[in-house]
Chains A and B, each alone.
Chain A
Amino acid sequence: MNSATDGLGTKAKTPERPRAIDTVRAGLARRYARERRFRFFGWLAVVVSFVFVAALFASIIASGHQAIWQTRIGLEVDFDPQVIDPEGKRDPAVLSAADYGGLVKRALASVFPEVTARADKRALSDLLSSGAAFELRKKVLEDPGVVGTKQTLWVTASDNVDMLMKGYAERDATGAAAGLQAKQVAWIDRLIQRGQIEKRFNSTFFTGGDSREPELSGIWGATVGSFYTLLVTLFLSFPIGVSAAIYLEEFARKSRWTDLIEVNINNLAAVPSIVFGLLGLAVFINFIGLPRSAPLVGGIVLALMTLPVIIVASRAALKAVPPSIRDGALGIGASKVQTVFHHVVPLAMPGMLTGTIIGMARALGETAPLLMIGMVAFIADTPGGVMDPATGLPVQIYLWADSPERAFMERTSAAIMVLLVFMVLMNSVAIVLRKRFERRW
């Protein structure tokens, strides 16, 4: 009864309310101001991140774009049969054992006949890369017919010459530049005058392996190493990750165990990658005895690292398949396995593939675990399989970044560009897959 009177009393006391539309209008300005503020901050966030990405790309391209050019010196080489093939049998063993270094030196000396002192001759031949002799040999082995002729050959210059030509090395008061004596710089100037020195397309960078000489080093070996590593990663992590996701999402009954597994998959995703490297070192190399520096071990370790990413993405993709599809299949008598593999998995596949590719792109850029299992070793050969010693692209970048030669710096940036191109490609494939196989239901 009390409450009834109270209720009546309050009702009577209620003050006259203003018209609702007036209150709404009064508050509009504040509402829109808040919206504008939010839009501004959002726009600012986009601009800031875009500026950072642009700055990153600009700095890498600025310091790396010259690596696609390599300075070469044009020499008229006399393929003297007396030196190359005294017996004239064109025996490949004899041809490949000949003194091509001497031929190169002779060719260069003929350009500068006034250089006679022993030390000066050495300084002169230092303008050329140690790889120049191999280029001659390659030429002869490809076509033994050149023996006995004179050919103009553009041979690789040394990295110091390359740096000077690309404008990275400053000449000091005496005329010397970084790594080059004043007289060497003078010789280069004369070569420039005579048009015998040029920057040409640097095919070595894209086809060669690692080298101690910057001008002879390339990323092909590391690229192949990364390819084998990712191949192993893909073949392990995709089937295992997808099966685990399908089992956990579609078949496993919810229990404390599945909860525990779920928590630990998420934990695994957060484990620092170097820890996976330690695991690989301890288990796969020390305990199981797999070879060090091998893409096989790298691939297994990266697969362990990628698994949680794939599992989480695949489970999300499976969850996104509407239950009505499962009901429809079960309702006409499809078994659980048929329902899952005929209907649910095909619909979830784009999501699973996207997750896998993003996981693979992460694995491609991963360095730390590879350091732990020895893929950081200096390996000049291109690996021929998953058991061969190899490095990967990111490790190659790390190794070159560590080298003192100035010429390795631009190669570091160039290798980063190549790595970024691969990343962008993989992510684009992921986007295309998602768009292409996206189905509506």
Chain B
Amino acid sequence: METVIEKQQVLQRSVPETTIESLKPKVAIDREDRRTVGDLFVKNPRMTCRKVDVYYGDKQAIRDVSLDIGANEVIAMIGPSGCGKSTFIRCLNRMNDTVEGCRVTGEIRLDETDIYDKRMDVVPLRAQVGMVFQKPNPFPKSIFENIAYGVRIHGLANDKTDLEEIVQHSLERAGLWTEVKDRLPQPGTGLSGGQQQRLCIARTIAVNPEVILMDEPCSALDPIATAKIEDLMDELRQKFTIAIVTHSMQQAARVSQRTAYFHLGDLIEVGETDQVFTNPLHPLTEDYITGRFG
């Protein structure tokens, strides 16, 4: 098992260490309590976040989030709209830097390196922590160029054959090769929505990142394209660490090993996906997954 989860009690909470089944009846958590419950920390984290606050101007979007992202796991962020899950995921490779007035405090580490350190260079960070966005956003260039661009700017290919190999390999991994191998010089924007999104994933994995962030990658796709991307995630997990934001609880349940539930800027609950969905600790989590709101 990749993610050995260490049961830890969080932020002065005293949930007795016991089996999941016995947790809920024993400890009634107040609905208004916004402190995080569950298993925030893992044994072999790739990324560690501690006391992260995010502000847009004067408005606080995320309050005091602490969370580990383990190696080779898929962690799903769920929660109602506007709960800050996208904001949080964009902190992990500093994409929030581009947002005017956005301020991040606290500490986010990637393998012991503080990514918000003043000396941190965001270019290698983003090469290491890639991102796939909600709306498929292929470059208005050819399919080949879409994949080759990142490889080229980072100088990852030795020569032209090498570059072609990387492009083919990335498309294969994204499950797109058979569909596009005859039309590589055609524009990437001419593909269907699902193909475009897989092209974006191929573009991201072409530069060999170690962590992939996915911000609702399937929200614009039909169920068949969604299924393809979910299969892909399962496969990519062998090599990459994936953090995914999703609105679909079924998707979170299908693809993730751990799930984090956000509510209005607070991280409410983190835990193994099975536990969060079958036996949530927090009443808010339970409300959400049983469909009482959200």
Chain A interface residues toward B at CB < 8 A: 254, 322, 324-335, 338, 342-343, 347, 439-441
Contact = CB atoms under 8 A, between A and B. Distances in A.
Given A324-B133, A328-B139, A333 B100 contact: no
Given A325-B137, A343-B139, A333 B126 contact: yes
A111 to B, nearest CB: 73
B104 interface: no
Provide the main secondary structure of the chain A interface.
Answer: helix
Contact of B133 (A327, A342, A343, A347): A327
A332 B123 contact: no
B95 A327 contact: yes
B127 A332 contact: yes
Provide the main secondary structure of the chain B interface.
Answer: helix
A177 B95 CA distance: 83
B189 A332 contact: no
Contacts of A338: 153
A324 B98 contact: no
Interface in B190-246: 200, 203-204, 206-207
Q: Which 3 pairs of residues, A with B, have the shortest CB-CB distance?
A: A333-B127, A324-B137, A331-B131
A324 B123 CA distance: 18
A190 B10 CA distance: 117
B149 interface: yes
A57 B125 CA distance: 62
Contact of A332 (B98, B100, B135, B150): B150
B131 A440 contact: no
A347 B206 CA distance: 24
Given A338-B153, A342-B149, A440-B189, A330 B139 contact: no
Contact of A331 (B126, B135, B189): B126
Given A338-B153, A347-B140, A440-B189, A332 B207 contact: yes
B133 A332 contact: no
A329 B122 CA distance: 13
Contacts of B7: none
A380 to B, nearest CB: 52
Contacts of B130: 331-333
Given A332-B127, A332-B206, 15 more contacts: A254-B100, A322-B137, A328-B139, A328-B203, A329-B139, A331-B132, A332-B130, A333-B124, A333-B127, A333-B153, A333-B154, A334-B149, A334-B150, A347-B140, A441-B137
A390 B132 CA distance: 58
Contacts of A325: 137, 139-140
A63 to B, nearest CB: 50
Interface in B148-176: 149-150, 153-154
A331 B98 contact: no
Nearest to A347: B140
A439 B187 CA distance: 11
Contacts of B135: 324
B271 interface: no
Contacts of A335: 123
B140 A439 contact: yes
Given A254-B100, A324-B135, A330 B126 contact: yes
B93 interface: yes
A331 B129 CA distance: 8
B138 interface: yes
15 contacts: A322-B137, A324-B133, A327-B98, A328-B138, A330-B126, A331-B126, A331-B132, A332-B149, A333-B123, A333-B124, A333-B126, A342-B149, A439-B140, A440-B140, A441-B189
Given A342-B149, A440-B189, A331 B133 contact: yes
A175 to B, nearest CB: 75
A163 B207 CA distance: 77
A324 B149 CA distance: 16
B100 A330 contact: no
Given A326-B98, A440-B189, A332 B203 contact: yes
A343 B145 CA distance: 12
Interface in B93-107: 93, 95, 98, 100
